[in-house]
Structure 1
């Protein structure tokens, strides 16, 4: 894409009435270049999750504009947003959001089924193989570890080849080894497939895997690091929290 993967233009998001409510986002402008990985960090209550939800069209902004994969979705109807979620964007969350009654391969194929696309078993098994779970295709979530469930969730996001992947604390429920595997998979999506990732995390080591880290405080962008290291991220975050 020649345009940013995600762009927020002077976005505000109020919870409650405009004059008496709380501003979760206060005049945020942010452009995430296509084919890059952007991490969003900040103290508790800084607006991280609200920014992610607004950028993905899960939450409507109060003022400002949101442009996703070159399309202004600020006032897009539900039907358009639903179609974009099926074809243009993917989601990975901390709690995996797998369907317990379905096998790993059925969970991976589910978004395509919703979009009316018949996924071949070869394609589904192929994407499970790419996340190291070819031998777990017929297992249900309860038969998988947390790290394996998250890899299934990533495979589910990968199957439709989304232009933008939104990740909310994707390693938050994982042990260090599983987290490392997941981060390597996300990096491969950017480096190998040219996809874009916007990720919320509280972990400096996880954020340091991204190309850039954007820091929020009180609903505003407070800082930015390009090519971050774990030490730099931890230092900036500590300053904001103090």
Structure 2
């Protein structure tokens, strides 16, 4: 099953580059088995930003990891960037992620011994490409760090480190960006900067962003919010306010 391809900068990528069909993910067996996801079907359209929310243990990160091919589903199907990855090999997943997927996590995974420029260039090197210095500098300039390329992570603030992580994710021009609590450890000003960057990736770059967050303000920056509860989709909101997100989340947590 393949969705129609999108036009524009990511031609060849389907109009819904992330699709989950009746996905379940179980851990353990017998009486101790945990049903992290249960029969979840959801589509993330091209050029859209979706926030995924829910109470602790609702399956948010599991959904993100299954959608990105970082975790295997127990049942159902997952399509990513036009490919069915349900039974893909590790090598196939690695090639696909390097070609079409970017990641930004709260745990930034920056390499402390490398400069910001070297951290940003790393995905290109891992993909076997020779990084263009101009591409790397442009990615850093896009996140407001044109003058920090020679700095190592310890010489940067938390917000600046997060922006380096976003530049690293952007440099390969992925069609899909997965973000897990990208503003969770940031102050309000740095969080706003990161959210503006994600918005620009969607509006100017036509990229798809899927973001797990616990923050109603961050979620309200997205085009849509999907709420999980007990491993199932409990609700959806389109273009909600932060107050609407907070009210719906409180109701689920109650």
Residue 119 of structure 2 is aligned to residue 107 of structure 1 = yes
CA distance in 2, matches of 1:178, 1:204: 16
Residue 213 of structure 2 is aligned to residue 201 of structure 1 = yes
RMSD over equivalenced CA pairs, Å: 0.9
**Which secondary structure does the structure 2 equivalent of 1:216 belong to?**
strand
TM-score using structure 2 length: 0.94
Displacement of 1:123 in angstroms is 1.2
**Which secondary structure does the structure 1 equivalent of 2:204 belong to?**
helix
**Which secondary structure does the structure 2 equivalent of 1:117 belong to?**
coil
CA distance in 2, matches of 1:95, 1:143: 17
Partner deviation per Cα, 1:1-41 (whole Å, 9 max, x = no partner): 24312110000000112775110000000001111001000
Aligned mate of 2:57, from 22, 26, 45: 45
Q: 1:66-77 alignment to 2 at 5 Å?
A: 66-77=78-89
**Which secondary structure does the structure 2 equivalent of 1:79 belong to?**
helix
Give the corresponding residue for 1:241.
253
Q: 1:17-96 alignment to 2 at 5 Å?
A: 17=29, 21-96=33-108
CA distance in 1, matches of 2:30, 2:58: 18
CA distance in 2, matches of 1:161, 1:110: 14
Equivalent residue pairs, number = 242
Displacement of 1:119 in angstroms is 1.0
Contact 1:12 1:27 in 2 (8 A): yes
Contact 1:95 1:173 in 2 (8 A): no
Long gaps (5+) in structure 2 = 1-5, 7-13
CA distance in 2, matches of 1:85, 1:30: 20
Partner deviation per Cα, 1:144-197 (whole Å, 9 max, x = no partner): 000000000000000000000000000001000000000000000000000000
TM-score using structure 1 length: 0.98
